Amino acid sequence: MSTASEASLAPLSSIATIGQHEGETVRVRGWLYNLRASGKLLFPIVRDGSGTIQGIVPKAAVSEEVFETLKNLTLESSLTITGTVRADSRAPSGFELDVADVSVTQRVPDDQPFPITLKEHGTDFLMERRHLWMRTPRQSAILRVRATIMRAAQEYFDTNDFVRTDPPILTPAACEGTSELFEMKYFDEGNAYLTQSGQLYIEATALALGKVYSFGPTFRAEKSKTRRHLTEFWMIEPEVAYADLGDLMVLAEEFLSHIVQTVLAKHRADLKTITGGDEKAAKLEKIQAPFPRVSYDEAHAMLEEAFSKGLVENRHTYGDDFGSPDETYISNQFDRPVMVHRYPAAVKAFYMQPDPADASKALCVDVLAPEGYGEIIGGSQRVDSYDLLKQRILDHGLPLESFEWYLDLRRYGSVPHSGFGMGIERVVAWVCGLEHVRETIPFARTLNRIYP
């Protein structure tokens, strides 16, 4: 095995960048993902976190020690493999490694094999072993795409002169009531809650800095078991002073387009690993601004027509919010996200500005992803009148004393301002074509899962 030879001095390469070393000898540090044997040939597949690559090991080309070490190596054993990079159009990565040497860092014991094999496993089995499941190529690819989505989201705001301002995670009051919040005692100050949104706080920083955003974990104690819900998730929220609803919709579509195109530029191979084909990438290529805009009334009319034709099972009641089947039908009429705006104020939050043309409507927008992935962005123009905001707080039965600081924003130099929130996990699910959001985050927290 490894000696102080030319092989052991070979440069390190990640699998993702191994194409830069075609014809050269390199070292790859990683783990044995799979191993096939055919007579006097071994085909180890190694992963390193950036991708996988197949090695070719003819018995005649390596020492007996190297051949036997690899032949008897257990899955997920950690190793450093040395070999020459060779282009091969049949290989998923476009390259293979002609192996010359191997050094084992830790061998997985034979009597305690890696529990996740290539056969089918149930969801509960995999979620109980999430700390190991994420090593598989598909799960690793999802997490790489997630990282790029998060980076692209920040990049968009940072390069467009937004200032990141981080709101508190522990809050004394709720944005939209406390029924779906995790509650805790806060020393002698009474109850505190894990944040469900940083919005109220970044309204304050927007009036200080103009254009801001926050990015962090949020929590909702909603007892939901749907494929779209987590109790802990990540939210990015911009807020802009002097912006109205029209400005906000332009921001949302340009922001989402940047994220999707960044993923396409970096992760076509990962998307193929995740979905098993190129269809998803082809659909994502269409995600370019501008997005279609549909008012609540127009969306309701679409659903009425669909119900009359038997295309939706249940009739939508005018004035109600849209349920998941409604959102799915609406979004399926478009090849890119659709922006549904001006919902009835009665079904929206207290801080949303009423439409001056129809006070029964709120100046708000929900961005619905294609293919039935539902709302990925929700935002609004905020109430900027002190008197109206105070009355809204009272009408919603919220404690006025908890919102005095929020009312101060309307006492001292109030301006029209707008913002939205985008849940990272729902965007990951949509971009990756996932059935359930539990695969979009390293360790999902759901109604019935807090382990590991």
Distance CA 360, CA 341 (A): 13
Higher pLDDT, 145 or 2: 145
pLDDT, tens digit, 9 for 90 and up, residues 143-176: 999 999 999 999 999 999 999 999 999 998 766 6
**214 lies in the same domain as 266:** yes
CATH code: domain of residue 398: 3.30.930.10
Full residue range of the structural domain in which residue 240 is found: 132-439
Is the residue at 447 inside a domain? no
Q: What is the pLDDT of residue 6?
A: 46
**204 lies in the same domain as 86:** no
Is the residue at 351 inside a domain? yes
Give me 109's structure tokens: 């014991």
Check pLDDT > 70 for residue 387.
Answer: yes
Is the residue at 139 inside a domain? yes
Is the residue at 126 inside a domain? no
Is the residue at 9 inside a domain? no
Q: What is the pLDDT of residue 177?
A: 58
CATH code: domain of residue 90: 2.40.50.140
Q: Which domain-ending residue is among 72, 106, 140?
A: 106
**170 lies in the same domain as 316:** yes
**95 lies in the same domain as 201:** no
**55 lies in the same domain as 153:** no
pLDDT, tens digit, 9 for 90 and up, residues 306-345: 999 999 999 999 999 999 999 999 999 999 999 999 999 9
Distance CA 112, CA 128 (A): 17
Q: Cβ distance 344 to 358 under 8 Å?
A: no
Is the residue at 41 inside a domain? yes
The residues near 310 (Cβ < 8 Å, ≥ 6 apart) are none
Q: What is the pLDDT of residue 92?
A: 81
Least confident piece of the model among 133-137, 221-225, 272-276, 444-448: 221-225
Q: What is the pLDDT of residue 226?
A: 83
Q: Cβ distance 100 to 133 under 8 Å?
A: no
Peptide bond into 399 cis (omega under 30): no
**345 lies in the same domain as 426:** yes
Mean pLDDT of 224-232: 88
Q: Which domain-ending residue is among 57, 72, 106?
A: 106
**227 lies in the same domain as 349:** yes
CA-closest candidate to residue 34, choices 118, 128, 127: 118
Is the residue at 5 inside a domain? no
**377 lies in the same domain as 414:** yes
What is the SS3 assignment for 360?
A: strand
Is the residue at 119 inside a domain? no
pLDDT, tens digit, 9 for 90 and up, residues 97-109: 999 999 999 999 9
Q: Which domain-ending residue is among 64, 88, 106?
A: 106
**368 lies in the same domain as 405:** yes
Percent of the chain with pLDDT strictly greater than 70: 97
Phi-psi region of 171 (alpha: psi -120 to 50; beta: other; left: phi over 0): beta
Give me 181's structure tokens: 């919040």
- Residue 274 sits at φ, ψ, to 5 deg, of -70, -45
pLDDT, tens digit, 9 for 90 and up, residues 44-98: 999 999 999 999 999 999 999 999 999 999 999 999 999 999 999 888 889 999 9
From residue 158, alpha-carbon distances to 7, 154, 155, 211, 214 in Å are 44, 6, 5, 10, 11
**190 lies in the same domain as 325:** yes
**145 lies in the same domain as 89:** no
Check pLDDT > 90 for residue 178.
Answer: no
The separation between the first and the last C-alpha atoms of the chain, rounded to the nearest angstrom, is 37
Number of domains the chain is built from: 2
What sign does the CA torsion over 134, 279, 288, 334 have? Answer: negative
Distance CA 352, CA 415 (A): 14
From residue 222, alpha-carbon distances to 181, 216, 232, 244, 326 in Å are 8, 19, 10, 30, 21
**311 lies in the same domain as 422:** yes
Q: What is the pLDDT of residue 1?
A: 58
Check pLDDT > 70 for residue 392.
Answer: yes
Mean pLDDT of 219-244: 93
What is the SS3 assignment for 237?
A: strand
Looking at residue 33, its amino acid is Y
Distance CA 299, CA 106 (A): 58
